[in-house]
Amino acid sequence: MHKKMGLDVGDKTIGVALSDMMGITAQPLKTIRRKNYEKDFDELIQIIKSNSVDEIISGLPKNMNGTLGPQGEKVIKFIEKLQGVIDIKVEYWDERLTTVAAQRALLEADMSREKRKK
């Protein structure tokens, strides 16, 4: 079985997570400090090869009305360029309300505001 890789593409960093072998859960792997496309892609390709990644899921920030804002357009541009150097299926994950859901889960777990910031 192969793994899925999750990407959270930002202007300064790329968050990378890997699934378990069954593709059920994901754990954070590392945060890549962005330099340029070539170096970013080299690091991602190394992770893909060393972990037998066969699918990538990238977060896609959208406005609440479903349209793409500037950050969403940057993510799509990055992924399109990445797909030019890899032969792996990439899917997008709508990020709307994910922060709200995460904060709610932390509140339900009775986590203090100070711990939530970490």
Residue 9: closest CA among 85, 74, 68, 67? 74
Q: Are 105 and 113 in contact (CB under 8 A)?
A: no
One digit per residue, the tens of pLDDT, for the chain of length 118 reads 679 999 999 999 999 999 988 878 889 999 999 999 999 999 999 999 999 999 999 999 988 888 888 999 999 999 999 999 999 999 999 887 655 555 666 667 775 555 545 5
How big is the chain by its Cα radius of gyration, in Å?
15
Which domains, ranges and CATH numbers included, belong to the chain? 3-117 (3.30.420.140)
| This prediction's pTM | 0.79
| Tokens representing residue 62 in the block | 């959208």
- What amino acid is encoded at 72 in this protein? G
